[in-house]
Amino acid sequence: MNPDAEITCDNGHYQNLPKGWCTTSIKNICDNINGLWKGKKDPFINVGVIRNANFTKDFKLDYSNIEYIDVEQRAFSQRHLKNGDLIIEKSGGSDNYPVGRAILYEGKDELYSFSNFTMVLRIKDKNIISSKFLYYFLLDKYKKGVMRTMQTQTTGLHNLILDKYLSMELCIPPYSEQKRIIDAIEELFDKLDAIMESL
């Protein structure tokens, strides 16, 4: 880890953490940025906006049906996607699929924005935690049903309880260990994909 990085750790409840690991919350390591929609004030810029419809069932980004709309240039300058951003579904979902899905954006900076039904988690210091490590952490939490405890429902629309979501604690290993964990996860996914293709 970068010794100069600003991060507050609380290992008081995790006495058995391996050496070099740190416990913190999402809001402590990420900025959260709300999405946008159609602009009302000139000047406008026409950009692709990532919506809930662009989230695939396997938690990837579907580029085939991105909607292009006119948004305020000033708003886009503050709310464009950067490589490594995590796009979080904060409104939508269904009874079978709670809100809180996360996808990792691995494209060019300043090419797309994201809708007001989503938000972005942007890591404050990538020397502390890898975007992919955080993505797999959030994927694990979603698959385990944790997000069901972090949503409200009004008129059929499910909304993420942001304070609960951003207060989620996670254990961060040293960067080299994060890479090892990521490599192990992706190797397993590759094997599963190969099995599915062979069926």
Comparison of pLDDT for 198 and 163, the residue scoring more: 163
User: What is the tens place of the pLDDT at every residue in 158-172?
Assistant: 999 999 999 999 999
Residue 97 has a pLDDT of 85
pLDDT band at 4 (very low <50, low <70, confident <90, very high): very low
Residues shown for the chain: 199
Residue 170 DSSP class: E
User: What is the tens place of the pLDDT at every residue in 85-134?
Assistant: 999 999 997 888 899 999 999 999 999 999 999 999 999 999 999 999 99
Report residue 88: phi and psi, to 5°.
-110, 130
CA angle 143, 83, 158 (to 5 degrees): 40
**pLDDT-wise least confident of 10-14, 73-77, 82-86:** 10-14
pTM, to two decimals: 0.88
> Distance between CA 138 and CA 157 in Å, rounded?
21
> Distance between CA 160 and CA 151 in Å, rounded?
4
In sequence order, the 6+-apart residues with CB closer than 8 A to the CB of 173 are 18, 20, 21, 181
In sequence order, the 6+-apart residues with CB closer than 8 A to the CB of 138 are 86, 88, 100, 102
Residue 13 has a pLDDT of 54
Residue 1 has a pLDDT of 38
Are 102 and 59 in contact, with CB atoms under 8 Å apart?
yes
Bridge partners for 50 per DSSP: 114
Residue 5 has a pLDDT of 41
Report the chain's terminal Cα–Cα distance, integer Å.
43
CA-to-CA dists, residue 69 to 72, 79, 80, angstroms? 10, 14, 13
- Residue 77: both structure tokens together: 């300058």
What residue ranges define each of the domains in the chain, with the CATH number in brackets?
22-198 (3.90.220.20)
Residue 154 has a pLDDT of 76
